[in-house]
Amino acid sequence: MPLIINGHPFGFAGDPRTSLLDFLRRDCDLTGTKKGCDHGQCGACTVLINGQRINACLTLAIMHEGDSITTIEGLGSPTDMHPLQAAFVRHDGYQCGYCTPGQICSAQGMLEEAALGWPSFVTDDLAGDVTLTADEIRERMSGNLCRCGAYSNIVDAITEVKE
Ligand code: FES
């Protein structure tokens, strides 16, 4: 059964130890997803699997046959940007840009989690009663590192889109 990546089927027939990250970059030529640490520490490789964000370096491609995977290429394009991409541009939510695809995929996953009513990470608010304050966004995005330090602009960009 193929993996469904950005709406297109991709058959997997390689080494079963291949990470989803390596499969995307090497076999699918989807190099928007970045490899930073390759150990689940930086978030540069974040993609969405069935709408939930995951570090593609920490999971095997073969485990996701039949799953729907969205990479940054599936969210938008230079001529048809996703609202988060446009907001990152407006707010300078990047400097070198290496972490940006992961940041944007993670932000999209975070917005979906919030819409599903996940409880607060920083207050006692229960499911369905969470406001995405700057603190809440920072905590929920804490798995995505930006070595340039564009964090405040990233939070501004996400704040604009969630409103
Ligand atoms: Fe996957 Fe850093 S490359 S978390």
Cβ atoms 68, 49 nearer than 8 A: yes
**Strand pairing category for 46-49 and 68-70:** antiparallel
User: Is the shortest distance between the CB of 20 and ligand 1 below 6 Å?
Assistant: no
Tell me the mean pLDDT in the region 21-48. 98
Please give the number of the atom of ligand 1 that sits closest to the Cα of 58: 1
pLDDT of residue 121: 78
Tell me the mean pLDDT in the region 27-35. 97
Instruction: For each of the domains in the chain, give its residue range(s) and CATH number, in order of start.
Output: 3-75 (3.10.20.30), 83-162 (1.10.150.120)
Helices 83-90/100-116 angle, 10° precision: 120
| C-alpha 55 to ligand 1 mean position (Å) | 6
Instruction: Dump pLDDT digits (tens) for 86-104.
Output: 999 999 999 999 999 999 9
**Strand pairing category for 68-70 and 3-5:** parallel
Instruction: Answer yes or no: is pLDDT of 139 > 80.
Output: yes
- Residue 163's pLDDT band, with cuts at 50, 70 and 90, is confident
Instruction: Answer yes or no: is pLDDT of 113 > 90.
Output: no
Q: Mean pLDDT over all residues of the chain?
A: 93
Tell me the mean pLDDT in the region 135-140. 94
Supply the pTM of this predicted model: 0.94
User: Is the shortest distance between the CB of 99 and ligand 1 below 6 Å?
Assistant: no
The whole-angstrom separation of Cα 143 and Cα 32 is 18
- Residue 130's pLDDT band, with cuts at 50, 70 and 90, is confident
Cβ atoms 101, 34 nearer than 8 A: yes
Please give the number of the atom of ligand 1 that sits closest to the Cα of 42: 2
pLDDT of residue 101: 98
Check residues 26 and 113 and name the one with the higher pLDDT. 26
